[in-house]
Structure 1
Amino acid sequence: MAAVPLLICDDSSMARKQLLRALPQDWAVSVTQATNGQEGLEAIRRAQGQVVLLDLTMPVMDGYQLLEAVRDEGHASRIIVVSGDVQDEAVRRVMALGALAFLKKPVAPDDLYATLKRLGLIGAPGRTAFPARPSANAEVSFNEALREVVNVAMGRAAALMARVLNVFVELPVPNVNILYVGELQMALADAHANPQLTAICQGFIGSGIAGEALVIYHDCDVADLGRLMLRAQANEYTDTEMLLDLSSLLVGACLSGIAEQVDVQFAQNHPQQLGVHMPIDDLIRSNQPRWKPTLAVEISYALEGHGIHFDLLLLFTEDSVQRLRNKLAYLMN
């Protein structure tokens, strides 16, 4: 019996490492890895993807586009989606495009095995000589590990928002960067000075990891967001109340997703509108000693069909970085 050509298609080196570790040890597979849908499609055309473990949120070509291309080109690949985007609509769409199953990240080995078994993709161990697999011990950078943790967390936050607003939330690849205090001060000051932006700030702390979450809205979207909230909640909201509630929901869900993966518990302050409840200068002044440099995670959300965009910025204090490294160490090694 020949080894099964298995394709792992995910832009995150952390996610690929987790999947390699989750593969059944007695499954004879020859593994190919791809970092985006275009690379994945080329591998499938080379017959390297009889079975595919596919992410959705990727640059160049995402998972939805790859599923469409596989269907349109008539490939016989058996595709299992493994994604942090756990919206009900995301699951419905991938199944309609031909995926055989949907597993949420990070996938547990038992769940992956049960799915492979249910789909008839793995059987009793045979006498096949197992091909050498790519190393599941490859080094993963701190930024890569954090980006994957945030990717999973933002997907869970999007699923909650989708249920609350009855929308489909489009997800990006999150950005992870180190910002120095001057850069951060300029970015926050620009957001405050722009009359077309409203920023909501919410502090958080847990297990020595602390920071501020900023949700930045375009004012032209506020009325549409208000209508969605009113339709979903049947409550009377002022614009400020609506933005505070939505921000608290988004930040809370995202932090909860991070906390679950790195085994911490975050406490959150009440959200405040910058420039109203908390002047931007006060925010910078009170945090400047801790924000040299700042670890910044940027997520840009969009609501499909509504033209609504808003940004979530997670700012971790300098002292938090080493604690985050320690928490992520067990995932990276």
Structure 2
Amino acid sequence: MAKPITHGPDSRDGHVYDMPDDLRLAIEVALAADRPLLLSGDPGSGKSSVAPYYARLKGLRYYEHVITARTQATDLLWTFDSVRRLGDAQAHRGRLNDGDYVVPGVLWWALAPESARSRGGLLAPSLHRDPAERFHHRHHPNGAVVLIDEIDKADPDLPNSLLVPLASHEFTVGDTGTPVRREADAGPPLIIITTNNERDLPQAFLRRCVTFTLPGPTRERLVSIARLHLRHERRGLPETTRDLIVALADELMRVRATADLGHQRLPSTAEYLDALRACLALGITPDDPRWPLLRSLTLAKPAEAGR
């Protein structure tokens, strides 16, 4: 019988990440230069996992915003619920406080958490909870990590619209005229922006970022990542599991080596972990008759899949 998995495969809880030395240096350079870190790489290469891992490792506040085609730059700074405000005004609920309708975005919380709690002084600070508390239950430590995920999904104007707030660490809430500036006690934020390179980013935006590309997986790194995850999940590492880890790593590298022929897409580290968890849960080994099907379901996916 398959053993139930009690966690999500992409939980972003920051517990497990195999941080290569060159990526660690890229983070240090971004912090020293006070610039965002733009991470590129294949889908499933672990770009989105870097930010929560680093935040947990350093005990920092953590925020994230996943970009979609409808995301606007102001969504990362603030949103204003004009529909609710109009409804309250029509209901004659007395004098309205615009602060009740302002929702700080991830960059506001990261740069100026005290201002975000009070909506720039429009409300009592105690009325609003820092969303980072869902991740780190610490008393507002200095410094924050912000993940802006998949910026290449956005309209091309979005990166350019973020140039000033990312560079100056200040902006004005247009709906209320409230100025927001980075608070001294907040500490310098680490802003990590990911891209799958589905769309070119403006040169002016790239100039203001420290850039790093995550390399494709290697056999050795896949084995290391698998061991880290299994230890975190408190699974044993008997010889059969160790053999399975290596066999799947070899299989993924074989698929990647032949994917350039155009018949298959490049499988990622995330898909390798999917295959490993499925094998462990279902008792599938390389000599199992189900192995070829599992390979095609998780690793050797057709290049046109999903089109």
TM-score by structure 1 length?
0.24
Q: Determine which structure has greater relative contact order: mean sequence separation of CA pairs < 8 Å that are 6+ residues apart, divided by chain length.
A: 2
Greater Rg, structure 1 or structure 2?
2
Higher normalized strand content (fraction of residues): 1
TM-score by structure 2 length?
0.25
